[in-house]
Amino acid sequence: MSIRQRLIQYQRYKPLGVRLLAAILLCSSLMTLIATGIQLYLDYQYERSAIDERISQVEASSLASLSNSLWEISPEQIQVQLNGLHQLPDVEYLEITTPFGELFAAGVPPAPGKALTRHYPLEHHTPEGQLFSLGTLKLMISLEGIYQRLADKVLVILSTQGVKTFLVSIFILTIFHRLVTQHLGTMADYARNLTLERLDTPLILARRKPHRQDELSQVVYSINSMRESLLDDIALREQAEQQLALLNAELEQRVEQRTAELAQTNQELQTTLDELRQTQQQLVESEKLAALGGLVAGVAHEINTPIGIGFTAASWLHDNARQAQEKGPTSAQESALIDTALESSELISKNLERAAQLVSAFKQVSVDQSSEQRRRFALAEYLEEILLSLQPRLKQTNPTIQLECCKGLILDSYPGAYYQIITNLIINSLIHGFDNRPGGSIYIRVSQQAEQLIIDYKDDGAGLPEGWQHKVFEPFMTTRRNEGCTGLGMHISYNLVSQLLRGHIRAMPVTSGVYFRIEVPLIA
């Protein structure tokens, strides 16, 4: 626990004695207030009953005499009677009004709301049974005396009860401190200072009889039992740690010995494996070079010779037809024949020249593809040569191919790998994307970021089936196996990019068509 957390905990700490005292004071004060309220209510009812009794006495004894005095028209007698009634306790004001406008009063009217008012009609009954209304008596009795007596009683009750409650609370708090709080503090200090070095010291409560059995004794017994259990567990753990240390030392010695033996064996195996790989690579390179030499020689002899003879024949035919045309034809049939010979010789010459270009491009690409020879080359020109070599295949569907590449971009890499990758992508677009139907668009964009080359390949064909974004690079994965496809083209491209060129190829998510991104270093 951090220092800040401990400070917060101590700030929130409230002793039990203080909380007990607050609870006692709160409960005692509440009970005192309830008892005082009941006592005041009873005293108020008693005072009101006394006032009602006096009012009843006035009604019984004075109303008849006041009526007689009014009947006899004796103002002095009426005033004397009113003054006498005013001397009664709590009677503040008396007033008699007559139908003739006469007014008799005694005392001073109290403030509104602080007096009890009663009105009594004054009447006279004649022996003949007639009833005469003589006036009205207004009696006002003040309540201030009652309120003042009740207020004085409240102060006395609250003062005595407060002093009694405080003294009882102090007494209870003292007893609670001697019996509980001080022993709880002792146990808290013991637990706070308890460490592994002080586990031998038992917990003993001072100023407490040893034979007393209560909840505190049970807590002390439990703490001491837990301390003894900890001592036993620590002794067992130390013994186990010593045994474990000996076992670890033996294991480390064995591991070091076995590690040294494994390292030596691994070194020997790695050396042997390197020698095998080097030998295998030399054999593969030798076979590839030998096959490449025979292939290039055969292609150069078998294709260049017929093309050369055909080009020579076409030139000879063109020259003879031109000479015959200059001499002038003898008939319309000869003229048509000469024109046909000229047109055919020109067409043959142009196609043979184009075939020679294709053979040259094929020769260069085939050398690069077979030998995987690393060299410096201009990427834009090389991509154009690849597209030129694919013209016989592209004539069937005639798609629109847009190539965007910087003319001055020079790579130091393996051009044969680029040939096979681009060829596989285009052939896949023709077969799977466009389904060998005429039309379609292919977009190839080459960009450079730092030392990385990025090739974005897109088409607007049918696109990849659902879930094939990652499976397209697996071997033998194809949707047209019944049409002779093997499913190795994209797998070969993936191996060339990742293993030979040390790059990455990914199928990017698109809504239509396909989108492949290739990232490889400029220098292989």
Q: Give residue for tokens 């003739």.
A: 100
Report which DSSP code applies to 521.
E
Express as a percent the part of the chain with pLDDT over 90: 8
> Is CATH 3.30.450 the right assignment for the domain spanning 16-170?
yes
* Residue 26 to residues 19, 86, 175, 455, 463, Cα–Cα distance (Å): 10, 47, 19, 85, 83
**For 291-316, how does the pLDDT look when each residue is reduced to its tens digit (9 = 90+)?**
544 454 456 556 777 877 887 888 88
pLDDT tens profile 172-219: 878 877 777 777 777 777 777 777 777 777 777 776 666 666 777 777
In this prediction, residues 143-167 reach a mean pLDDT of 80
Helices (H), 372-396: 379-389, 391-394
Where are the domain boundaries for CATH 3.30.565.10 in the chain? Answer: 372-521
Which of 399, 351, 353, 406 has the alpha carbon at shortest distance from 382? 406
Nearest to 134 by CA among 164, 102, 106: 102
CA atoms within 13 A on the CB side of 327: 12
- pLDDT, tens only, 31-45: 888 888 888 788 777
Q: What is the DSSP string of 322-354?
A: HHHHHH--SSHHHHHHHHHHHHHHHHHHHHHHH
pLDDT digits (tens, 9 = 90+) for 350-398: 887 767 766 664 554 444 444 467 889 999 999 999 998 888 888 888 8
Measured between alpha carbons, how far apart are the two ends of the chain, in Å? 58
pTM metric for this prediction: 0.35
Considering the four listed CATH numbers 1.20.1530.20, 3.30.365.10, 3.30.565.10, 1.20.120.450, the one that applies to the domain covering 372-521 is: 3.30.565.10
The CA distance from 306 to 146, in Å, is 144
